[in-house]
Amino acid sequence: MADDLIGKTINGYAIEEVVGKGGMATVYRAHQVSMNRSVAVKVLPEQYINDDTYLQRFNQEVAIVSKLEHRNIVPVHDYGQYNGRPYIVMRLMNGGSIDDLLAKGALEPEVALNIIEQIAPALDFAHSKNVLHRDLKPSNVLLDDDGGAYLTDFGIARVLGEQATSGITTQGVVGTPSYMSPEQAQGLTLDGRSDIYGLGVMLYEMLTGKRPFHADTPYGIAVMQVTTPPPQPRLFNPNLSLSVEEMILKALRKKPEERFQTAVALSDGLKKALNRPLSTLHDTQPNAQLRQNTQPVMSQPQPVVQPQPVYNVPQAAPMTPAPVSTNYLGGYVRRRKQKSNNIWLSAAIGGVIGCGLLAVLVVIVVIVVNFLTSGGAGVSIQPTAIENNPTAPVNDSQNVIPTLDPTSEAGRATLVPNGSVLPTLATTPTLIPVGVREAEAVNPIAQDIGGVMIFFARRNNNYDLYRMDMATGNQTQLTSDGGNDTYLSVAPDGQSLVFQSNRDGDFDLYILNLVTGDLRQLTNNGVLDRSPSWSPDGEWIAFSSDTDENRNMRLYRIRPDGSGLEELVNNGQLNTEPRYSPDGQYLVFTTGKADDQDTHEIAEFSFETGEVTRLTNNQARDWLPTYSPDGDQIIYSTSLNGDQEANGRAALAIMSHDGSDIRILYDGLAWEQNPQFSPDGRWITFNAVSPFSEQQEVFMMSPDGSDVVQLTNGGGEGAIWIR
């Protein structure tokens, strides 16, 4: 249908064409005859001239903009009526809107920064005049021919402290759900930080080409604004640095006090993140010289001694990535908050948001918060089987099924001296995957690489093993027995894995067959057995054990069937976290005083000579070493200055296999641990406390310390990638 205003002259403005339409107005290009210039004329559609709601919003926009004279707020030239229809005359922006730019895809970070640096001061200026915009979105930022950006459309803006005559702009839920802050979606009291959230959503879309939340209805989107963490921007744009991603997600924090407090602060944060991205902070740290000048110190050869029985002492928890506590699982990783899929609850929230019934909504939101923090009963993990064993029962520690005979008497007699007894293999239940978790939004880079990642994670207040298909993001929970299952190593054929667990009251080693689901207990005694490592030929499993019950742990190796127990290193120190070299000739491990982590260094054991060579020797804590696939390098965790309690930081360091050429590889997320090369050597996985989920998550990066990508979102540690 033809527009009845085109071709007409309204009080000196010749209407030429429609340049934009919104929910409450149409914008025309017009020629101002008196000034001989092109302008934009915003007119209220005829069908709304008898609607007090639209009339008041239109008139309020005029009143607000008239007092917001800022170089980056679209100026209003004139205001009047034509046949009872109010109109506003504004400067014409020939560059279109940010929406027009986004039609071509995500913006380059520098372009987005240029826009944000112009819009942020305008927004703060409006806030200084007690004006909240309440509808920040790409279509409400207009551009001129020279790249200037201007804030517009204050139709639903609110003036703080003013009482609206009808409550139209001061009560209820108004705005665009995709850009609405959580407090705006709930109808709560707002301040300028609500607009900061909208600016953050807009920045998210500019840099990724996507909005963070999508649902079938506007109500559903509003519910997600209140309850759902936004996806990581780098899932959609892997070229973004970790620093940029972190600042975007800070702008989208659910709690206003956790966001940037002003728009200019957000703009400054983006500029700093672009100038100094976290993902390139390798080989540039001020403390890197600490390791570049260190020389490996050769220790006296350590003889291979006769094997001793391995016992176990009850411990509160296994050693995990906690930086400052000997109770390594205690209170460090926060409990995962499950997402709710309760349809009734979501519908109730959405309905209340849509109606703007604040009192009811607040009650429901409280229910949501309690629901989420209590573990999320709406997400149930249903029993499922490994593909080739669909009828096997779910693992149940009360249903004991033997899966491996104990080591033979003959084997014990030949391998254990002085009549001591090798620990027998306890009967254990058959184990199958116990649940399939909702697929992660896997980064496109990881999807292209493919393969399977196995890791442990604290979810539902317990550590269990998980498997993730990197191509699809599908996760399978492999263990669930009430014990803490951690620190794993996969057999060379990829069919089995060995891990440590305290499921029987103390920490022992267990072997899980990933094909059949069978579980075997490898050690069963009275001391701590931990950190197993499978040899490249599949014939041995090295591990550490607190044989003397004084935390001065020894290194052992044992056959996967429980035979052949052999002590490797016993020097009165804590020796732990062994990992085989690719050729199977060496073990690299952590060694030092049990009661002083600052003495922990990286050492190497030779199977040929029985000698131990210390590869690092400094005042920093070095731990969790592992070889590169070619055996030429060793990567490990290191504290930057030995004072981990003071600075809470660790980095990833790398050196040549002989201990030379030591350098910092990556220092970006505060506490990086468990580095592991991918089988092809093209990637390194590690875990660190994510600035987004505030718990340990699995990350990957390139071998040069760049291209850092978060792989899990819900907990993850100690990942091993299987191709």
State how far the Cα of 431 lies from the Cα of 516, in Å rounded to an integer. Answer: 8
Cβ contacts of residue 539 below 8 Å, gap of 6+? Answer: 559, 560
Give the list of residues 6+ apart from residue 410 with CB closer than 8 angstroms, or none.
none
Judge whether 279 and 700 are in contact, CB under 8 Å.
no
Return the DSSP state at 398: T
644: closest CA among 674, 670, 679, 682? Answer: 670
Coil, strand or helix: which one is 181?
coil
Closest CA to 616 of 629, 635, 630, 643: 635
Biggest distance spanned by C-alpha atoms of the chain: 110
Name which of 524, 528, 556 is nearest 425 in CA terms: 524
Residue 446, classed as helix, strand or coil, is helix
Contact indicator for 577, 600 with CB cutoff of 8 Å: no
What the block records as the tokens of 165 is 């005559």
Q: How far apart are CA 119 and CA 153, in angstroms?
A: 13
Exposed/middle/buried for 34, CB within 10 Å: 0-12, 13-18, 19+? exposed
Angstrom distance (rounded) from CA 395 to CA 134: 52
Which residues lie closer than 8 Å to 19 by C-beta, 6 or more apart? 27, 28, 29, 40, 92
Neighbours of 296 (CB within 10 A): 20
Residue type at position 208: T
Count of all residues that appear for the chain in the document = 723
Residue 24 and residue 156 in contact, taking contact as beta carbons nearer than 8 Å: no
From the CA atom positions of the chain, what is the Rg in Å? Answer: 31
343 neighbors 328 (Cβ within 8 angstroms): no
Question: Sheet containing 485-490: which strands, arranged edge to edge?
Answer: 485-490, 496-501, 508-513, 519-521
Active site residue 135: yes
Closest listed residue to residue 682, CA positions, set 466, 451, 468, 473? 451
* DSSP tag of 425: P
**117: which 2 tokens?**
């640096």
Helix (H) or strand (E) holding 274: helix 263-275
Distance CA 598, CA 409 (A): 43
The residue from 124, 135, 464, 506 that is catalytic is: 135
- Please say whether the beta carbons of 684 and 700 come within 8 A: yes
Alpha-helical (H) ranges within 38-91 are 52-65
Torsion angle of alpha carbons 129, 133, 138, 142, nearest 10°? -50
The continuous run of DSSP H or E covering 98 comes out as: helix 98-102
Residue 188 near residue 255 (C-beta atoms within 8 A) = no
Distance CA 91, CA 572 (A): 80
Residues designated catalytic: 135
